[in-house]
Chains A and B, each alone.
Chain A
């Protein structure tokens, strides 16, 4: 019977990585490899900054009168573009940061890590980076546009701030749209990390350990 040997030790058969520990490890990974983390986060930062600037300027413009339909269409196009930029940026940097850690992943598996631990660590890490990058991006993107209008038109530009135009007739209050943009950044970061993290976790440890980068 194959299981007999594992029970003789009398210790409960378990393999675990508590959530608190996962959070600590992911945080440590971000802070120790800060340069790497900044590059990953800047992918999402740029995308969300772009998106927020589009949202903010549409809100300021629509406060001064209804946006003409062709401008609305252009706005929707810009929103889509900014999301694509953000997604590609983060997929690329997540792929890089997982690939350069193959050896570490192999080692963790030798020490008894389950595939799900590896995936979880990478997802937490990228969610943290995504949310931080997106929050900064929303602040900076929105702030820069506000500054541009302030310089160009003076405080009068903010007398009537309308709703952010998403496109397809959908309008949202500006603050809500910015909060959603930040959450979206976090979500995109997680989605982009799933594939590389899962692929890395599935590798046989021997193959992961052999990789030299």
Chain B
């Protein structure tokens, strides 16, 4: 958990509202969402598709601008940042993982992992050796020269996790990280994320409707129709995990 002197909350949202205009009607994807996320926490944002969890993901990651309200990363109001500071924040403070992996198709696994480090100004040799270490850590040390198209879905997601960790971010944002993976591979990815969470203390925020996620989460935020329905702490969840684990392994 947080060491002394470090602010307790790494992410805070205040009255976060996002509206989309679809065919002339206003659709409220997020409605005054208040959410405080502690440093080092593994938090799952659960909800059916269309509930607004991906929108929340985009807002927290600074990938889209809220209609109203604000997002604070380390007590920094993201709306106050200029384009350069926002790019810096995305580069160094946040690692992103997507349902569709989103690796750069023309680059090898190693090049994908080193790209954020190059943006951050890391010398090439250092970036290479750190990239290799990260790939070994996610179990792909021998596949560094493969292109994404030569890797399986699970392997691509491992590369994406290595890439997300490249600049030692405080936060990893994962949008449906297991959505395109089979049950077993999905479990492996969840285990890997949890491992990064406990070993490196990185805060993991995952938008998902994969119930396997609940098992490793410190807190689960249930979201419905753009509002937070309820937030469950680890202790409350534990009692119910047994019921959820109905799937064959």
In angstroms, Cα B90 to Cα A15, docked, is: 10
Q: What are the residues of chain B within 8 A of A113 when measuring CB–CB?
A: 87, 119
* A103 interface hit (Cβ, 8 Å): yes
User: Which one of B36-44, B98-106, B215-223, B236-244 is at the A interface?
Assistant: B98-106
Given A5-B74, A110-B96, the answer on whether A207 and B64 have CB atoms closer than 8 Å is yes
By the criterion CB–CB under 8 Å, are A103 and B102 in contact?
A: yes
In angstroms, Cα B103 to Cα A111, docked, is: 11
Q: What are the residues of chain A within 8 A of B197 when measuring CB–CB?
A: none
Q: What are the residues of chain A within 8 A of B103 when measuring CB–CB?
A: 107
Q: What are the residues of chain A within 8 A of B85 when measuring CB–CB?
A: 3, 6
Range, interface on chain A: 35 or more
B83 to chain A, nearest CB (A): 7
In angstroms, Cα B62 to Cα A6, docked, is: 15
By the criterion CB–CB under 8 Å, are A204 and B64 in contact?
A: yes
Range, interface on chain B: 35 or more
* B53 interface hit (Cβ, 8 Å): no
Q: What are the residues of chain B within 8 A of A205 when measuring CB–CB?
A: 63-64, 90
Q: What are the residues of chain A within 8 A of B81 when measuring CB–CB?
A: 2
By the criterion CB–CB under 8 Å, are B77 and A2 in contact?
A: yes
A101 to chain B, nearest CB (A): 9
By the criterion CB–CB under 8 Å, are B88 and A112 in contact?
A: yes
User: Which one of A27-35, A133-141, A156-164 is at the B interface?
Assistant: A27-35
By the criterion CB–CB under 8 Å, are B75 and A110 in contact?
A: no
Q: What are the residues of chain A within 8 A of B88 when measuring CB–CB?
A: 6, 13-15, 112
Contacts of B187-236 to chain A: CB distance below 8 A: none
Closest residue on chain A to residue B88 by CB atoms: A15
* B130 interface hit (Cβ, 8 Å): no
In angstroms, Cα B86 to Cα A113, docked, is: 10
By the criterion CB–CB under 8 Å, are B77 and A111 in contact?
A: no
Contacts of B57-94 to chain A: CB distance below 8 A: 58, 61, 63-65, 73-77, 80-81, 83-85, 87-92
Closest residue on chain A to residue B167 by CB atoms: A112
By the criterion CB–CB under 8 Å, are A209 and B116 in contact?
A: no
Contacts of A82-133 to chain B: CB distance below 8 A: 103-104, 106-115, 117
By the criterion CB–CB under 8 Å, are B64 and A16 in contact?
A: no
The 3 closest A-B pairs by CB, nearest first: A112-B91, A5-B74, A206-B64
Additional A-B contact list (10), CB under 8 Å, known A28-B106, A29-B106, A109-B87: A2-B80, A4-B76, A5-B74, A15-B88, A16-B120, A104-B105, A111-B116, A112-B91, A112-B119, A115-B83
A-B contact pairs, 22 of them (CB 8 A): A2-B76, A3-B85, A6-B85, A6-B89, A14-B88, A16-B118, A17-B119, A18-B118, A21-B118, A28-B106, A103-B102, A106-B102, A109-B90, A110-B63, A112-B91, A112-B92, A112-B120, A204-B63, A204-B64, A204-B65, A205-B90, A209-B102
